[in-house]
Amino acid sequence: MAVEKVDKEVHVEENGTKEENGTSEPSISNENDESSDLSSMIQKDEDDGKEVSKKKKKKNKSKKKKELPQQTDPPSIPVIELFPSGEFPEGEIQQYKDDNLWRTTSEEKRELERLEKPIYDSVRQAAEVHRQVRKYIKGILKPGMLMTDLCETLENTVRKLISENGLQAGIAFPTGCSLNWVAAHWTPNTGDKTVLQYDDVMKLDFGTHIDGYIVDSAFTVAFNPMFDSLLEASREATNTGVKESGIDVRLCDVGAAIQEVMESYEVEINGKVFPVKSIRNLNGHSICRYHVHAEKSVPIVKGGEQTKMEEGEFFAIETFASTGKGYVREDLECSHYMKNFDVGHIPLRLPRAKQLLATINKNFSTLAFCRRYLDRLGETKYLMALKNLCDAGIVQPCPPLCDIKGSWVSQFEHTILLRPTCKEVISRGDDY
């Protein structure tokens, strides 16, 4: 998320342990699969038409039948192997309203979309990975889990399903698993012993990307049903933000609609009633290629900017429901960092900082990373160098964002694309 005006209180500690590097090579072909599939043979025999018979000839020539693999449990098959055509499931389609209804049927706008198809397929592949990973994680989550294990399992599953490949495909940012009054930007640093509790409210915010086309989507986990309506408030507020978004829609109008829904909720927790507040200094944001927090902010309260959403833009629509002040400040040890997108070449004299920057450029470029990601690459004792890069304005630290101690925050987030003919909720699943 994007954050505005926060009070700083950041603690830094030295640590650095190494874990194994678990990348997997992309595997696109399943031509070696010799097993036969009766139903696909029947389908082929029933097919007709020139296009189909051409394909049939090609298939018969190679004397091999295609059988699409099924995802395993736990998931291990790269999503590209489940969709070898390179076409991935479309997200939820929402039609534009009122003045923009004409777009639905415009031939000119459809032509524009045909040109953009490769981009749609990239981001839809990233979304399919997001859906499969979160489905798996929801199934294994339980109180008593070490947060570090949870994150590493999630991240290694993303790496496998997205066929991680340098900057071409992979994790888009650290796994946020902020608890309770921590709203965002918390992930364990190496050695952290935090254990997930039955009464925790955890925001799982993770990102996937193909070719820099990022899916940024989050949901909240609570085991205790007393938090159900707190979760519902942010889920419905986010759905409202998604529904109100559109080409030529003013960002302030999206924010006002979100706040209206959010603050219609009150929640009872441990016998005490709280009004639900939208966290006023957290926002959704536009997303550009390799740039998760691009220039536009999507407010979640009224009184925001009048800037409009535009055709072709990606937005992360995310809302935060709080029982606290509805205002966050930076606190706790920092784990998240990101290279400044606009920074040009800055000459560095310190060799250690120079070397660390080379590692960051090669592995993350302008995508966000966390200390654990540096540890697994074999970097050690890098905190001073990292601080140098932050002080030089090359890297931005993104510390945890916290409401008042003892409060609870929930979050839901979707990535949407304002296509020329319709709005596509890229990250929509049957879960949220």
Binding-site residues for substrate, in ranges, read: 185, 293
Q: Report the C-alpha gap between 45 and 210 in whole angstroms.
A: 36
Among 201, 246, 207, residue whose Cα is nearest residue 226? 201
**Minimum distance from residue 101 beta carbon to Co ion (Å):** 29
Q: Report the C-alpha gap between 262 and 3 in whole angstroms.
A: 19
Residue that the structure tokens 């601080």 belong to = 387
Catalytic residue among 128, 192, 200, 205: 205
Q: Report the C-alpha gap between 239 and 260 in whole angstroms.
A: 12
Looking at the Cβ atoms of 1 and 276, the one nearer to Co ion is 1
Residue 205 annotated as catalytic: yes
Strands 395-398 and 336-339: antiparallel
Looking at the Cβ atoms of 233 and 316, the one nearer to Co ion is 316
Looking at the Cβ atoms of 215 and 276, the one nearer to Co ion is 215
Catalytic residue among 121, 318, 330, 331: 318
**Minimum distance from residue 291 beta carbon to Co ion (Å):** 12
Looking at the Cβ atoms of 216 and 244, the one nearer to Co ion is 216
**Minimum distance from residue 316 beta carbon to Co ion (Å):** 4
- Our measurement of the distance from residue 230's CA atom to the centroid of its chain's CA atoms, rounded to an integer in Å, reads 21
Q: Report the C-alpha gap between 119 and 426 in whole angstroms.
A: 12
H helix runs in 96-250, sequence order: 107-140, 147-161, 228-244
Do residues 273 and 267 lie in contact, with contact meaning Cβ atoms separated by under 8 Å? Answer: yes
Among 77, 119, 91, 314, residue whose Cα is nearest residue 210? 119
Looking at the Cβ atoms of 184 and 201, the one nearer to Co ion is 184
**Minimum distance from residue 176 beta carbon to Co ion (Å):** 9
Q: Distance of CA 230 to CAs 139, 201, 203, 260, 408, Å?
A: 21, 10, 12, 15, 8
Residue 293 annotated as catalytic: yes
Name 92's bridge partners: 425
Q: How many Cβ atoms from other residues are within 10 Å of residue 354's Cβ?
A: 14
- Our measurement of the distance from residue 135's CA atom to the centroid of its chain's CA atoms, rounded to an integer in Å, reads 14
Residue 253 annotated as catalytic: no
* Residues of each annotated binding site: 185, 205, 216, 285, 293, 318, 413
**Minimum distance from residue 157 beta carbon to Co ion (Å):** 20
Catalytic residue among 209, 285, 336, 414: 285
Residue 285 annotated as catalytic: yes
**Minimum distance from residue 178 beta carbon to Co ion (Å):** 12
Q: Distance of CA 422 to CAs 90, 91, 246, 365, 414, Å?
A: 12, 11, 9, 32, 16
Which residues contact Co ion by CB under 5 A?
Answer: 1, 216, 316
Residue 291 annotated as catalytic: no
Looking at the Cβ atoms of 267 and 294, the one nearer to Co ion is 294
Looking at the Cβ atoms of 266 and 305, the one nearer to Co ion is 305
Looking at the Cβ atoms of 103 and 203, the one nearer to Co ion is 203
HSE toward the beta carbon, residue 324, CA cutoff 13 A: 22
Catalytic residue among 216, 330, 403, 424: 216
Do residues 394 and 64 lie in contact, with contact meaning Cβ atoms separated by under 8 Å? Answer: no
**Minimum distance from residue 1 beta carbon to Co ion (Å):** 5
**Minimum distance from residue 292 beta carbon to Co ion (Å):** 7
Which residue of the chain is nearest Co ion when measured via CB?
316
Q: What is the DSSP string of 57-108?
A: HHHHHHT----PPPPPSS--S-HHHHSTTS-----EEE---GGGGGGGG-HH
Q: How many residues make up the chain in this entry?
A: 432
Residue 14 annotated as catalytic: no
Catalogue the active-site residues. 205, 216, 285, 293, 318, 413
